[in-house]
A and B are shown apart, each in its own frame.
Chain A
Amino acid sequence: MDERLIRFTKIVLDIMFYGGMVVFVTLPLSLKFLGKYYSSVINEYFLFMLAVFGASGVFGILIIRQLRKMMRTVIQESCFVYENVRSLNTMAVLSLCIVVMFVIKVCVMPTPATGIIVLVFFIASLFCEVLAHVFAKAVNYKEENDLTI
């Protein structure tokens, strides 16, 4: 892969990571703002929305953290390591956590967007799990190749 593309992806992930933290910290304020100017339903379910978005935000930030860890190994040109298999497994679990949060939200406040989020993260979770298996196989093959003298 092009070196510049890797660097660019790393920068995008860094921005998402720190941007996500800012969004998480300012979530109560932004929800209040949205409740005032966008939809009064947000004000009605303020604590519930704060809990759902707050928890999902934490899970999202943790997913990006794992991605940043993986990108670091890509930059160091040693991406076929078990650490990345663990990262993919962790991301699968975190995606499922987001699915659970939004399923709860669908039950209380059903919207088409929430349904789509549930579907997207459920598929992301499945893909992460499958990729983790593929990666584990690749790491195994690489180790065998490295230890063939």
Chain B
Amino acid sequence: MGIRINIDVMMAQRKIGLTELAGKIDITPANLSILKNNKAKAVRFSTLEAICRELRCQPGDIIEYLPED
């Protein structure tokens, strides 16, 4: 897929762990792991909003488009 999730980079910058972030945005660590490992097929706006709020970033900081050759 041409969309890459860079949430792990942002999490490292904010020094926050997977379980802690999952608790703050009210999703399970398993689901956050799916998102982190680029296995997710879609992201809800509410989830994206919560992630951006907790990581103090913009959606573009955690979602990247990679053109497929």
Contact = CB atoms under 8 A, between A and B. Distances in A.
Partners in one complex: yes
Interface of A: 143-144, 147-149
Contacts of A148: 40-44
Interface stretch (B13-21, B30-38, B52-60): B30-38
Contacts of A144: 41-42
Report, nearest first, the 7 A-B pairs whose CB atoms are least far apart: A147-B41, A148-B42, A149-B35, A149-B40, A149-B31, A147-B40, A144-B41
Contacts, number: 23
Q: Interface SS of chain A: helix, strand, loop or mixed?
A: mixed
B39 interface: yes
A82 to B, nearest CB: 16
Contacts of A143: 41
A148 B27 CA distance: 11
Contacts of B35: 149
Given A143-B41, A144-B42, 16 more contacts: A147-B41, A147-B42, A148-B40, A148-B41, A148-B42, A148-B43, A148-B44, A149-B27, A149-B31, A149-B32, A149-B34, A149-B35, A149-B42, A149-B43, A149-B44, A149-B47
